[in-house]
């Protein structure tokens, strides 16, 4: 077996079928898909149970959060290479084959350009990066400037690099990927990123990035401090991601609205108004950043 694909799922029934289809129809077919049902209460268990593809390995557990689900999934992996995938996202058919070819050049972690869409599939933006620049940033930049892969779900890495770095750490409830990449880069692992868009990620106002922004910032600071010999894992353990607040959801809607408006998608105006209704203070920021043609002259 060439590859173990690790995907954690929590209440992902609405998008799970499309995600499974994109994984199970890859041109590279020599892999196992480890799906960790992290205590779902919707139709997720039924969807996974009726999948008859023998490559699917289903693990069911009480809700423990993304990081612990990934730790378990990677611990169950039987191949020498591990790929990540998020429920709700889709991979192009050639993704696994192209990334495996990059890994065979001797890299520890590979990724690819990622296309971001909203919950309706409308285009928002594309994220690209250079592997060597990412590696340099991970080992030297401060928390305000550090950058990593285009998307956590687009990653593929060797089991050897993962285990030598210590794997995901459960103290990092979010930013667990950045913490891992830092340690792999610090250990001398190299990174490569395919410039072709091979992964599509869905941005939702209630996604982890929307609900846990403050925790992500703080845990990024802690990961960098640990890299530099400061702080402790107790600092990370003390960070508890907050529940979504109306202001947090408004900020996420505002971000999506701005992306849509850059693409001249009129739906962005509706989302912008929705964001302002939830948090009127966004009005001043929004007015300053609207396209000039839409402002009162």
> Tell me: the pLDDT tens digits for 160-202?
999 999 999 999 999 999 999 999 999 999 999 999 999 999 9
Spans of the chain, pLDDT less than 70: 206-211, 244, 283-297
What is the rounded CA–CA span in Å between residue 231 and residue 20? 40
Dihedral angle over CA of 19, 24, 27, 29, nearest 10: 140
Tokens representing 154? 């687009």
What is the rounded CA–CA span in Å between residue 9 and residue 51? 15
Dihedral angle over CA of 108, 109, 110, 115, nearest 10: 180
3-state secondary structure of 106: coil
pTM: 0.92
Query: Which pLDDT value is given to residue 177?
Result: 98
What is the rounded CA–CA span in Å between residue 223 and residue 144? 12
Tokens representing 133? 């620049």
What is the rounded CA–CA span in Å between residue 180 and residue 184? 6
Task: Count how many Cα atoms sit within 13 Å of the Cα of residue 231 in the half-sphere of its side chain.
Answer: 17
Tokens representing 45? 């268990």
Query: Which pLDDT value is given to residue 122?
Result: 97
Max Cα–Cα distance, the chain, nearest Å: 63
């Amino acid at each position: 077996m060439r590859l173990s694909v690790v995907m954690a799922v929590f209440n992902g029934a609405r998008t799970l079928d499309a995600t499974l289809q994109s994984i199970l129809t890859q041109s590279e077919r020599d892999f196992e898909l480890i799906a960790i049902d992290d205590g779902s209460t919707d139709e997720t268990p039924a969807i996974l149970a009726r999948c008859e593809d023998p490559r699917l390995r289903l693990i069911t557990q009480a809700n423990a959060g993304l990081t612990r689900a990934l730790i378990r999934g990677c611990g169950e992996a039987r191949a020498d290479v591990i790929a990540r995938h998020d429920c709700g996202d889709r991979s192009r058919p050639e993704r696994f084959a192209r990334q495996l070819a990059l890994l065979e050049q001797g890299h520890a972690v590979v990724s690819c350009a990622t296309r971001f869409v909203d919950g309706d599939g409308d285009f928002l933006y594309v994220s690209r990066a250079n592997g060597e620049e990412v590696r340099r940033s991970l080992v030297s930049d401060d928390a305000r400037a550090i950058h990593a892969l285009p998307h956590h779900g687009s990653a593929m890495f060797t089991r050897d690099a993962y285990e030598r770095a210590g794997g995901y750490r459960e103290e990092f409830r979010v930013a667990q990927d950045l913490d891992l990449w830092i340690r792999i880069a610090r250990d001398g692992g190299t990174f490569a990123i395919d410039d072709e868009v091979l992964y599509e990620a869905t941005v939702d106002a209630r996604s982890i990035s929307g609900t846990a922004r403050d925790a992500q910032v703080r845990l990024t600071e802690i990961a960098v401090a640990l890299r530099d010999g400061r702080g402790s894992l107790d600092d990370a353990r003390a960070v508890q991601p907050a529940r979504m607040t109306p202001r947090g959801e408004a900020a996420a809607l505002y971000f999506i609205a701005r992306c849509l408006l850059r693409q001249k998608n009129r739906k962005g105006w509706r989302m912008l108004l929705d964001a302002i209704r939830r948090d009127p203070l966004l009005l001043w920021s929004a007015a300053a950043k609207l396209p000039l043609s839409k402002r009162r002259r």
